[in-house]
Structure 1
Amino acid sequence: MRLIVKFKWLIAAIILMLTAILSVCSPNLTELANQKGQSQLPVDSMSERAKDILKSAGEDHQTISVVFKLDQSLRHEKLVKVIDQIKKIAGVKGITSPFDKETRDQLISKDQKTVLLPVMVEGSDQQVEKIADNIYKMVPDELTAYITGASLINRDFAHSSEEGLKKTEIITVFLIVGLLLVVFRSIVTPFIPMITVGFSYLISQSLLAILVEHIDFPISTFTQTFLVAILFGIGTDYCILLLTRFREELANGHDRIESTLIAYRTAGKTLFISGFAVLIGFFALGFAKFAVFQSAVGVAVGVGVLMLVLYTLLPLFMVTLGEKLFWPSKKVFSHGDNRLWSFLGKQSVARPFLFIIITAVMTVPFILTYDDQISFDSTSEISSSYKSVKGIKAIKEGIGEGKAFPVSIVIKGENKLTTADTIPFLGNLSQAIEKVEHVDSVMTITQPTGKKMDDLYIDHQLRAVSDGLEKTTKGLDDAQSGLTTVEEGLRKIIGQVASSATSHSGSSLADAAKALGKINRQLGIVSKQMAQTGNVSEAVPQLTVISGQLVKIQSSLQQVNQQFAGQQKQAGTLKNYLGQLAGGVKSAKAGLVKIADGMTKSRQILKEMSESKNLNDTGIFIPQQVMENKDFQKSIDHYSFSDGKGVQLSVGLDINPYSEQAITTINEIKKSVADEVIGTPLKNATIMYGGVTSQNADLKDISTTDLSRTMIIMVVGLFFVLSILFRSMMMPIYMLASLFVTYYTAVSITEFIFVQISGDDGISWAVPFFSFVILIALGIDYSIFLLDRFKEEIHLGISRGIVRSMSKMGSVIMTAAIILAGTFAAMMPSGVNTLMQVATVVIIGLLLYGLIILPILIPSVIISFGEGNWWPFSRKKE
């Protein structure tokens, strides 16, 4: 430290020059946070793997929803014109028209006043935002439209965080300056921490930007806000600790240099321990899997820079200004003993058990009532004034937001999945998913509009065949009846012809009548067989023979008809009548041919059904003619990829896709799918789930796992370091235990405020993680402040030592806790729900710890353990 004091001006010049160079040369951290700071899940998460499968197949587009709110008088022609213009925008890959017969019910509300237009786009979130801006420009003034989608919600969240950061920076500076003016009653003192921490923040911000730009250092939209709050909070606390000790040594008669050296030798050691503990806390975040959680490691970079600046730049002000640093105040608060803490210390030492009970009464009820209600609704993170949120609200009111944010099931196999043998299993899979509660519809190849295609199901097909056979039997009966009429007509003609000279003609007519009688008997037999057995295989060849016989009869009648030409008037009348009978035979023959053809097709379908391998398993049969149908092929193309080796199912929900209930639903869908594919061609396929609900399900799993992992790593790291520094394992145990009590009490109160009072679905998913890390990392500082001073005063004995430590450190800790709480209070006007909730947990926790836990619980525990405080080591004797 003497070397630093000696070269203080050179060091100050280096810091100033380094700050200037980094500020000019480094990229903009805010812009990098917007570009790279989205909530990117780990690559092995299910929703990310679904994205990768589609991306590798060239299907990595996403869908945004344009929501039109219509007046009754508005004509759809205007919408059609807007839709045509949207199709021409760069980046738009396709549009699902709401006016098609198949999609109308899905995309237009029942009152016809809300129209949902799904637009497929490609590109980054920033590019999608530009596409949305271009769409807004094309919407006429008389038409109300909102555009929403996961990308747009992410962008609005980034904008909201950026605006919140600006507010936080300004409020933090004014708040800290104001508090320091009150605390130190000095015009000069408040600006020393501001300058010191300000340089730390500028350097840290620039270094982080360089790391993010060149080595993909993790960053999120939260990073800068936490960096501001924590650096200015603990930086001010550390400055208070050093300046208070500096002022104390000046009052003891030491000169500026000696007072600075003593302050750093005593309070500086405490500062080092505290800063090191904070570094461990935030460094532990590097072991998290989720990039958003990892991004808080940037705070560790800031703390490291802060420590360097505190040990290099702050001594310059102390040595240079001396007593003037506290001008115009002659005294400073921390020079005297803190009466409140002194009183509480004496009472805790005298009645330790009572004060432990009092602490339990104040905290345990909150801990026991904590429900761990978590919300994954990113739309609640930002103001309802954003258009993406207004779009969600419009969809919810008119159609249902589950249709705008469906669950995407991506299935990828080694072999082709779009064959007539495999597609039926998609139908079964869809039916199984539809049975899950809160599933509204499933769209895939077999039901492209969300409703199953009845023509594909065996029960419907068999009914159609049965109906056809009934019609065939009736047709045979009709043909038999018609031919009977023809036969009777021929016999009448034969009677008339017998008395005429055309005996040869009469003989021919008699033969035809005889043949018709035989045919009628054959038709009767066929009709009876069909009615009884439905045996198509036997009926078809019989009908073919009968048709051939009718051809001969028709030819015979036509010959006789020609023989009547030119004869008497009666013969002319017979000729006309005979022509009608010949026409009847011809019609009967044509009808039988059609019946035979229909029966042949039915026989072919029944044969294909009998040869189908999976008909019994699925109840679905897809004839070859259906596979070749253009509309069905269009459905296959729309819901398949990778040349048919991959297929998709789109599952619409009837609940908020961001809700906890939706996460439960998708977990049920996963179970249903896993059970349904057993023993099917899909059993070995890769099945992944995409969409916001799937992302939130992954988010829930990863956030829970990361919180548990980080808790363990952070606690073990702090325990190890504190055990070495205090030469005790017992002290770290109750230090950390007291912070756990503080955290769960604070988060329980926060849950009550935001859920029970404000009506939120739960506290944001990121709050438990960030608030735990911040509260433990910062709260440990105050216990270190107290117990490190206790080490100095232990020569007085345990009871007197802890009371004296509390008297000396009480004002420092209380002031530090209030200032740090104030810096987090500056996050409240940000408008970002997560930041407000984290701030609430930290504020409640710091005030609870600094004003209740430390002055009441810790002294009681120390007295209760006695010499056991240094277990398993022995206390170092002075």
Structure 2
Amino acid sequence: MTERFVRGLARAKWIVLIAWLAITVAAMFGLPDLQAIVRNTEQKFISSDAESSVAKKMMEQINPASITKSSAIVVYSRASGLTKEDQDWLRNKASELTALSGKEGFQSVQSAYDTPELASKFRSGDGTTEMLLVGFEWPENDIITQEAVDKLSEKVQGAPAGSQVSLTGSAPISKDFQKSSEEGLKKTELLTVGLVLIILLIVFRSPVAPFIPLMTIGISLVITRGLVALATDYGMPVSSFTESFLIAVLFGAGTDYCILLIQRFREELSHDGDKVEAMIRTMRTVGKTVAYSASTVFVAFFLIGFAQFGLYQSAVGVSIGVAVTLLAGLTLTPALLMIFGGATFWPSKVISGQGHGESKLWTAMASLAARRPVAVLLVTVILLAPVTLLFEGKRSFDDIAEIDSGHSSVQGFRQVEQAFGSGEVFPVSIALGSSTSMRTPEALAALEAASESLSRLAGVQEVRSAIRPLGEQLADLAVPNQLDQASDALGEMKNGVDKIAAGLTSASGSIESGQDDIDKLTNGLRTMASQTTKAKTGLDQIYNGLKDTAKGTDQVAGGLSQSAILAESMSADLQKLLQAHPELVEDANIQALLGKQQGLSGGLKDLTKGTAALQQGFKKLNPGVAEAAGGLEQLAAGQKQAADGTAKLKGGLDTLTGGLNDGAKGLADISLGLAQVKDAQTMIGNSQIPGWNLPQEALDRPELQQALDYYMSEDGKTTKFDVILSVNPYSAEAMGTVDNLRNALNQSLAKSPISEPQIRLSGTTAQIEELKAISQNDFTRTGTFVLIGIFIVLMILLRSFLAPLYVLLSLGFNYFVTMGIVEFIFVRLLGETGLSWSASFFIFLIIVALGVDYSIFLMARFKEEYRPRGIAYAMTRAMSTTGGVIISAAVIMGGTFAALMLSGVNTLLQIGAGIVIGLVLYSTVFMGLVVPALANLVGEANWWPFNKRDRTAAPLSSSNQLNPPSVHTD
């Protein structure tokens, strides 16, 4: 079958070349751009049911209209302190940016100018730095957000001389990280191609031979990029690492496969010069080796797709690249070799009977491993085992360290860190849910107690919540402050009570001294009452006399009336007498009588008038005298009652005196109690026991309602806390704070009025803590899958159970030695807090997936050379013929990953360093000593349980013809 395939390939070699070129062109113009997709794809490394994801969904219920998917912070600073010109410039920029709200991806702007009460949160205490917070409508990786960041960058140009403006926050950091990754990728591509070309020129000593693997891998890479980009439409995850790994693995592994094919082709071509027959023999031997080698890499990266963690899953695209490279390596590379033939190795000539040379070094190591396998293993373990102890698993999650410090986002972050504190840019957000509304005084008091509990934790700078929106307890509602006010009032009350007590004591003494006067008053009132009674009796007598006098006056008036009538009659008679006797007019007696009579009539008239007036006076006087008599009677009765009252007053004053004395004593006790209350308040203040009281009228205040609307949903069932850390949010100390926050909140709310509290944490630090657990668990789970998958491939290839087992054990031991060295270099020597959190996983994956290729190269040749002459001969032969190939492959693979070290991305630097160290160790120490020693030690059991085979007929390879023929292992 192999022969038919190769002969058909020989006839259609030009068609194969043209077909691959056509597919490449179609991929370039017809398939999506992977880099653009990576740039605009949100890096969802956390699943939707993870705690931080649930927390974000809960917080979106608080105020959906104000939720921002990403943000940027404009950091304005001046070392000598901000000037009025600076603030005027910032105020104008805030107005300009506010006008963009709702347009071009901008959603909101917050500053010290639109919310003066929050000015302290936007201006640093030292007066050197001020921030503007800009919210965006879309996630940081969305193209609209990236364009908005660019527009924002343009808007903040032209700041006053001497000042510095930087952009930081989730969106600018993401953009700069992506920019760093793309710049690093370009460096990696150029360096990888350059290194591979130099290595190939050294290996083949020909300008033609390197062209074949470079063309094969270049075409494979272009097609793979398009296929991976297309696969994202069907859910395949990608990340900034996807392209980097594609380049490194395809150039590394692909070049190795090409070298193996080209070297074997040269070896076979040297026997008869027939390129078709040479290719048939090449494909029959190393063709299968290449297929199995690529299969292990394919299986390893394919199984990554079963990881639960998004970043790990993003490496699954490499499996597509390996499949494409394998297909190109088994079709395009042979086609090119048959097109060029012997010219492949120009200017060198392939001389008949001259294959590639055997390595004397590898032959010597094979001899040592065969003669002293136990000693080799013991010495290796004794020397390398201590190195594994250097690997403590310290990991760093600092995304800022991944970005070049010259980028604006890093400079802005460092400035905020210096001026405001490490946690200001990325606070920890805690979502709290309840089955009932928390917009009640009791629930808000519980939230205040929870806020106070959180604020007292180590590593916490301040806590902002619905009840402390500025990060500080509301002073008017704090019990200690209320106690201070109460203490002042109690002090004044105590002084008043002391004065009252003193007054009562004085009053009691005055009352006691005045009781004799009360006795005299009582006797006087009784005497007055007796005299008043006598006066009333006299008035009664006067009243009776007046009544008699009035009657006499009436009688006198009647007599006078009759006398007047008689006098009138006498006057009429005299007039008649004078008319009858005119002569009497001159009579003196008559004239005298007439004068008396007139006088009597006038007197009687006056007396009658006087008597009438006297009668009227008596009529008015008599009721007054009667009333006066009644009044004196009442006065006498009142005086008697007053006398009785004064007597009772004396008894009441006796009781009052005792009561005043008791009251003075009671007030003294009250004064002492007030002093004790004041002392207790002082003790509470000194002991800093939290306390809080929220009256209903305070709850209804507009400023408190505004804070509630910002931090709590309308139905009151969801609220949030923003915890500002005092340590770097990426640090181990910050991650240790996450569990403390959760525990403190649980304890605080355990017996609170908040019903069925649901606590979920989000934010950079909380996500890092979550990543730490998820990535570690996924590492163990996925790593196990990878090892099992590779074991199955090796078992099928080698038809052995023990050989794959010790090969994997050697790979595992090599991994821990490698990680010990890498951690020692970066943590202990270079002073980093830990290795990048994803570095250990990818170093493991690539060392195992690619390192096993070298085992396959060796063990496949070992199986091919296996003869009844013994294990030692087969292993020596395999090592002497493949040792140079393994070293060449390791150098090329190491070179491609060494290019990652110059990418400018810290994680890729560590991964590249780890893989270079691991491959160098494995291709020399483990492949040169450990694996051969194990193979010799195991002996015939290498093929257990498949060691029952027919050894009577074995096809010979050309290399076997150089030695006494024996049975082929197949």
- Equivalent of 1:86, from 88, 97, 117? 97
The residue correspondences of 1:143-542 to structure 2 (distance < 5 A) are 143-212=163-232, 214-253=233-272, 255-331=274-350, 335-465=356-486, 467-468=488-489, 471=492
Preserved CA contact (<8 Å) 1:240 1:816: yes
CA distance in 2 between partners of 1:481 and 1:624 (Å): 40
Match of 2:133 in 1: 118
CA distance in 2 between partners of 1:54 and 1:73 (Å): 35
CA distance in 1 between partners of 2:28 and 2:661 (Å): 101
Preserved CA contact (<8 Å) 1:179 1:819: yes
Match of 1:409, SS state, is strand
Alpha carbons of 1:296 and 1:257: their partners in 2 closer, same or farther (altered >3 Å)?
A: same
Preserved CA contact (<8 Å) 1:26 1:207: yes
Amino acid across the alignment from 1:290: F
CA distance in 2 between partners of 1:523 and 1:30 (Å): 95
Match of 1:826, SS state, is helix
Gaps of 5+ in 1: 485-510, 535-616
CA shift at 1:633, angstroms? Answer: 1.5
The residue correspondences of 1:30-45 to structure 2 (distance < 5 A) are 30-36=35-41, 38-45=43-50
Preserved CA contact (<8 Å) 1:98 1:116: no
Match of 2:777, SS state, is helix
Deviates more, 1:341-350 or 1:311-320: 311-320
Match of 1:134 in 2: 151
Match of 1:36, SS state, is coil
- Equivalent of 2:16, from 11, 14, 29? 11
Deviates more, 1:159-168 or 1:629-638: 629-638
CA distance in 2 between partners of 1:154 and 1:695 (Å): 16
CA shift at 1:530, angstroms? Answer: 7.8
Match of 1:441, SS state, is strand
CA distance in 2 between partners of 1:670 and 1:850 (Å): 48
CA shift at 1:280, angstroms? Answer: 0.8
Determine what percentage of the aligned residue pairs are the same residue: 35
CA distance in 1 between partners of 2:44 and 2:404 (Å): 19
Amino acid across the alignment from 1:117: L
The answer on 1:641 being equivalent to 2:716 is no
Amino acid across the alignment from 1:257: V
Match of 2:809 in 1: 737
Amino acid across the alignment from 1:753: I
Amino acid across the alignment from 1:390: Q
Alpha carbons of 1:199 and 1:129: their partners in 2 closer, same or farther (altered >3 Å)?
A: closer
CA distance in 1 between partners of 2:136 and 2:433 (Å): 23
Match of 2:442, SS state, is coil
Match of 1:493 in 2: none
Q: Note the alpha carbon deviations across 1:421-469, whole angstroms, 9 max, x for none.
A: 2111111111221232111111112222222224323454355345445
Deviates more, 1:98-107 or 1:329-338: 98-107
Preserved CA contact (<8 Å) 2:55 2:760: yes
Report the structure number with the largest CA radius of gyration.
2
Match of 2:761 in 1: 689
Amino acid across the alignment from 1:835: L
Preserved CA contact (<8 Å) 2:13 2:338: no
Match of 2:720, SS state, is strand
CA distance in 1 between partners of 2:475 and 2:666 (Å): 30
Preserved CA contact (<8 Å) 1:19 1:203: yes
The answer on 1:851 being equivalent to 2:924 is yes
User: What is the alpha-carbon root mean square deviation over aligned residues?
Assistant: 3.2
Amino acid across the alignment from 2:197: V
Preserved CA contact (<8 Å) 2:75 2:167: yes
Match of 1:830 in 2: 903
Alpha carbons of 1:457 and 1:74: their partners in 2 closer, same or farther (altered >3 Å)?
A: closer
Gaps of 5+ in 2: 507-641, 647-652, 672-688, 952-966
Match of 1:74 in 2: 83
Match of 2:749 in 1: 677
Q: Note the alpha carbon deviations across 1:224-244, whole angstroms, 9 max, x for none.
A: 011011001111100111111
Preserved CA contact (<8 Å) 1:425 1:618: no
Deviates more, 1:322-331 or 1:190-199: 322-331
Count of residue pairs the alignment pairs up: 770
CA shift at 1:63, angstroms? Answer: 4.2
Alpha carbons of 1:10 and 1:55: their partners in 2 closer, same or farther (altered >3 Å)?
A: farther
CA shift at 1:473, angstroms? Answer: 6.9
CA shift at 1:703, angstroms? Answer: 1.1
CA shift at 1:683, angstroms? Answer: 5.7
- Equivalent of 1:627, from 696, 699, 709? 699
Match of 1:570 in 2: none
Preserved CA contact (<8 Å) 2:72 2:169: yes
Amino acid across the alignment from 2:477: L
Q: Note the alpha carbon deviations across 1:210-265, whole angstroms, 9 max, x for none.
A: 111x2131100010011011001111100111111111111121511111111111
Preserved CA contact (<8 Å) 2:75 2:412: yes
Match of 1:869 in 2: 942
CA shift at 1:471, angstroms? Answer: 4.2
Preserved CA contact (<8 Å) 1:98 1:107: no
Q: Note the alpha carbon deviations across 1:192-217, whole angstroms, 9 max, x for none.
A: 001111111111111111111x2131
Amino acid across the alignment from 2:150: D
CA distance in 2 between partners of 1:35 and 1:713 (Å): 31
Match of 2:429, SS state, is strand
Q: Note the alpha carbon deviations across 1:109-149, whole angstroms, 9 max, x for none.
A: 33311223334443221444444433432352423111211
CA distance in 2 between partners of 1:480 and 1:130 (Å): 79
Q: Note the alpha carbon deviations across 1:490-548, whole angstroms, 9 max, x for none.
A: xxxxxxxxxxxxxxxxxxxxx9xx9xxx9x999999999788669xxxxxxxxxxxxxx
The residue correspondences of 1:760-779 to structure 2 (distance < 5 A) are 760-779=832-851
Match of 1:571 in 2: none
CA shift at 1:474, angstroms? Answer: 6.0
Preserved CA contact (<8 Å) 2:342 2:350: no
Match of 1:756 in 2: 828
Amino acid across the alignment from 1:60: I
Match of 2:896, SS state, is helix
Q: Note the alpha carbon deviations across 1:317-350, whole angstroms, 9 max, x for none.
A: 1222211111111259961111111111111111
Preserved CA contact (<8 Å) 1:473 1:531: no
Task: Give the TM-score normalised by structure 2.
Answer: 0.75
CA distance in 1 between partners of 2:896 and 2:860 (Å): 25
Amino acid across the alignment from 1:20: V
- Equivalent of 1:22, from 15, 23, 27? 27
Amino acid across the alignment from 1:74: T
CA distance in 2 between partners of 1:622 and 1:443 (Å): 18
Preserved CA contact (<8 Å) 2:390 2:823: no
Alpha carbons of 1:667 and 1:812: their partners in 2 closer, same or farther (altered >3 Å)?
A: same
Preserved CA contact (<8 Å) 1:223 1:299: yes
Alpha carbons of 1:334 and 1:92: their partners in 2 closer, same or farther (altered >3 Å)?
A: farther
Alpha carbons of 1:215 and 1:810: their partners in 2 closer, same or farther (altered >3 Å)?
A: same
Deviates more, 1:355-364 or 1:184-193: 355-364
Amino acid across the alignment from 1:798: I
Preserved CA contact (<8 Å) 1:334 1:808: no
Amino acid across the alignment from 1:321: F
Alpha carbons of 1:831 and 1:530: their partners in 2 closer, same or farther (altered >3 Å)?
A: farther
CA distance in 1 between partners of 2:355 and 2:493 (Å): 106
